[in-house]
Amino acid sequence: MSRRKGIIIKNASELKAMHISARKTATILHKVAAKVAPGVTTSELDEYAAELARKEDGICTFYGYHGYPGHICASINEEVVHGIPGRRVIRDGDVVSIDFGLTYGGFVGDTATTVAAGTIHPEWQRLLDVTRICLEVAIAKAVEGNRLSDISHAVQSLAEGAGFSVVRDFVGHGIGREMHEEPQIKNYGPPGRGPVLKSGMTLAIEPMINLGIHRTQTLGDGWTVITADRQPSAHFEHTVAVGKERAEILTIPDLD
């Protein structure tokens, strides 16, 4: 590894190890997200993730992180991020965001998706679609020579252009041996600011987009973040490696 302004740049063998870890992370997220359906509780999803991680000899990165009590974050409807798994039953019409982190071979993968349970309101579906595309346009900016805030600006332009708002209180991040490394990656702001991106930087890019206002609150459990207006929120996240020509998404699931 080397560093550029506090951002760790991974060498080829470190990137290979990140890829392996991230692929396992994404495969587990994919399987857990496929279980989301009306009638399922979030603790059932949590236990399933823990079991899959065990089978892969991986460590659930979130579990015990600053005392966090779950293996996944499961955030329903107005819950933005860090929803603690529990007895809450998923209902028809809910949108459920699942975030999962796995440490394997000393490197962390971090990825999230938001899925519909049963039939959801068309406007909520549009929120999911736009947030997924926010992640795609953000990843397209994770190329050597661009500046960090080019990522931020791409998310904000698309989200606000679609009539939604960008969560300000939480950000994406560098990732590697630690889940949260430098830099912090805002999902809003002007382009052309911040460090110049370099091949070998590994980033967790994660737009959090609200249907209503951007403001959030944290519940009394100390973790669960909700929208201030109780309207729904969506969250998608990939771990990516900055490349010379294009970013490489590391959290792509193994589907066989």
Contact, 233 vs 131, CB < 8 A? no
Q: How many Cβ atoms from other residues are within 10 Å of residue 39's Cβ?
A: 11
Q: What is the DSSP string of 101-156?
A: EEEETTEEEEEEEEEE-SS--HHHHHHHHHHHHHHHHHHHT-BTTSBHHHHHHHHH
Contact, 77 vs 226, CB < 8 A? no
- When binding is defined by CB under 6 A, the residue of 58, 83, 101, 174 that contacts ligand MF3 is 101
- When binding is defined by CB under 6 A, the residue of 68, 157, 178, 182 that contacts ligand MF3 is 68
Q: How far is the CB of 94 from ligand MF3 (least distance, A)?
A: 20
The two tokens of residue 123 are: 């406007």
88 binds ligand MF3 (CB under 6 A): no
Count interface residues toward Co ion (CB under 5 A): 5
Site pattern 235..254 for ligand MF3 (x: CB under 6 A): --x-----------------
79 binds ligand MF3 (CB under 6 A): no
Query: Helices 148-161 and 122-140 sit at what angle, rounded to 10 degrees?
Result: 160
**Beta pairing partners, 203:** 174, 240
Instruction: State the first-to-last Cα distance of the chain, in angstroms, to the nearest integer.
Output: 32
11 binds ligand MF3 (CB under 6 A): no
Q: How far is the CB of 154 from ligand MF3 (least distance, A)?
A: 18
* Half-sphere exposure of residue 49: CA atoms within 13 angstroms, side-chain side: 32
For ligand MF3, the closer of residues 120 and 172 by Cβ is 172
181 binds ligand MF3 (CB under 6 A): no
For Co ion, the closer of residues 91 and 154 by Cβ is 154
| Residue 68 interacting entry, from ligand MF3, Co ion, none, C-beta within 5 to 8 Å by type | ligand MF3
110 binds Co ion (CB under 5 A): yes
Give the residues lining the site for ligand MF3 (CB under 6 A). 62, 65-66, 68, 73, 82, 99, 101, 110, 204, 206, 237
